[in-house]
């Protein structure tokens, strides 16, 4: 039963991403079941591994509902990281259909060389591994009572994903569509809030960091997709709608998206209703 709930968590985390991605892209790219379920399948596969690697599985200080709530956010960011690395560095695709290239580019100029993109991917992934190692090291020091920083200062470091998202987005988008101050600081602010939420439930630095960014992406993409449904994604700005039928057909998937949020909200409410003790 525990494994079933873990897989269900991965399923809903993946369906959440699959749905907002399809909702925004399908009028321009069309719909395909394989593409739709790509993130869902990835999250379904990742969830048990994330459950084990982040030590959520064996953390007896957490209730099961708390573990599931944190697993949703952690699995979410794991899937997003893998997909974005693939699309940015590894995938070769015609970029002319995009206003903002999805492949690695410098000041709007796409890096065509596979070798250069693979080298960049190596250092990018290496940076993620280094940060993960640093987080684990700091967490162990905290557990041993050797890290006596103010918890709210620690959260500034654990919400670093929001700053990475802000600088990454500015690097990718600003040279083409201009710099937006609100957009730049939005991700760090939301990430700090979610780091605080997660830190109320656990002191696991890796989980807090992942949930901080995972929940931030989920919230911001929900806001951009469903609060402004008629506004095209930045990458398709000015591009024609090639599949107008999807403007109607995509509405059928809103129930799936709502179900994913309901699953998360129920897990979150149960987590905070039960005993919990975290970093803050």
pLDDT, tens digit, 9 for 90 and up, residues 99-127: 777 788 777 788 889 999 999 999 999 99
Q: How many domains does the chain have?
A: 1
- Is residue 191 domain-resident? yes
Q: What is the Cβ-side half-sphere exposure of residue 232, based on CA atoms within 13 angstroms?
A: 17
- State the residue range of the domain holding 189: 2-273
pLDDT of residue 173: 63
Residue 6 lies in a domain: yes
Burial of 169 (0-12, 13-18, 19+ CB in 10 A): middle
Quote the distance between the C-alpha of residue 16 and its chain's center: 11
Would 278 be classed as within a structural domain?
Answer: no
Mean pLDDT, all residues of the chain: 89
Report the SS3 class of residue 110.
strand
Is residue 29, in this structure, part of any structural domain at all? yes
Give the pLDDT confidence score for residue 240 in this predicted structure: 83
**How do residues 128-171 score in pLDDT, each as one tens digit?**
999 999 999 999 998 888 888 999 999 999 998 888 877 776 66
Q: Is residue 231 part of a domain?
A: yes
Q: Has residue 173 been placed in a domain? A: yes
Report if residue 279 sits inside a domain.
no
Q: Does 20 have pLDDT greater than 80?
A: yes
234 to 24, 69, 180, 216, 274: CA distances (angstroms): 10, 31, 13, 18, 41
Going from the C-alpha of 29 to that of each of 32, 96, 177, the distances in angstroms are 9, 13, 21
R_g over Cα of the chain: 19
Q: Does 166 reside within a domain?
A: yes
Residue 70: what pLDDT? Answer: 97
Chain segment 178-236, per-residue pLDDT in tens: 666 777 788 999 999 999 999 999 999 999 999 999 999 999 999 988 887 777 666 77
Phi, psi angle pair for 277, to nearest 5°: -150, 120
| 78, 90, 118, 173 from 222: Cα distances, Å | 18, 27, 31, 19
- What ranges make up the beta strands (E) of 34-175? 105-106, 109-110
């Amino acid at each position: 039963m525990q494994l079933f709930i873990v897989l269900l968590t991965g399923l809903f985390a993946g369906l959440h991403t699959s749905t907002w991605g399809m909702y925004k892209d399908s009028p321009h790219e069309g719909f395909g079941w394989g593409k739709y379920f790509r993130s869902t399948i990835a999250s379904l596969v990742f969830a048990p591994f994330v459950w084990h690697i982040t030590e959520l599985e064996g953390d007896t200080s957490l209730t099961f509902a708390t573990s599931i709530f944190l697993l949703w956010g952690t699995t979410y960011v794991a899937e997003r990281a893998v997909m974005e690395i693939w699309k940015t560095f590894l995938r070769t695709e015609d970029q002319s259909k995009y206003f903002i290239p999805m492949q690695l580019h410098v000041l709007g100029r796409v890096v065509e060389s596979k070798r250069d993109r693979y080298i960049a991917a190596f250092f990018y992934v290496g940076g993620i591994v280094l940060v993960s190692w640093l987080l684990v090291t700091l967490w162990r020091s905290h557990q041993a009572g050797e890290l006596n920083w103010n918890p709210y200062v620690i959260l500034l470091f654990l919400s670093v994903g929001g700053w990475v998202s802000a600088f990454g987005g500015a690097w990718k988008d600003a040279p083409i569509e201009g710099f937006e101050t609100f957009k730049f600081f939005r991700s760090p602010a939301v990430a700090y809030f979610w780091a605080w939420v997660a830190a109320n439930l656990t002191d696991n630095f890796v989980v807090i960091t992942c949930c901080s960014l995972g929940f931030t992406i989920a919230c911001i993409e929900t806001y951009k997709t469903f609060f402004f449904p008629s506004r095209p994604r930045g990458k398709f700005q000015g591009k024609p709608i090639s599949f107008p039928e999807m403007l109607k057909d995509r509405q059928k998937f809103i129930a799936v998206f709502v179900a994913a949020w309901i699953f998360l909200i129920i897990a979150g409410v149960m987590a905070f209703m039960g005993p919990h003790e975290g970093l803050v």
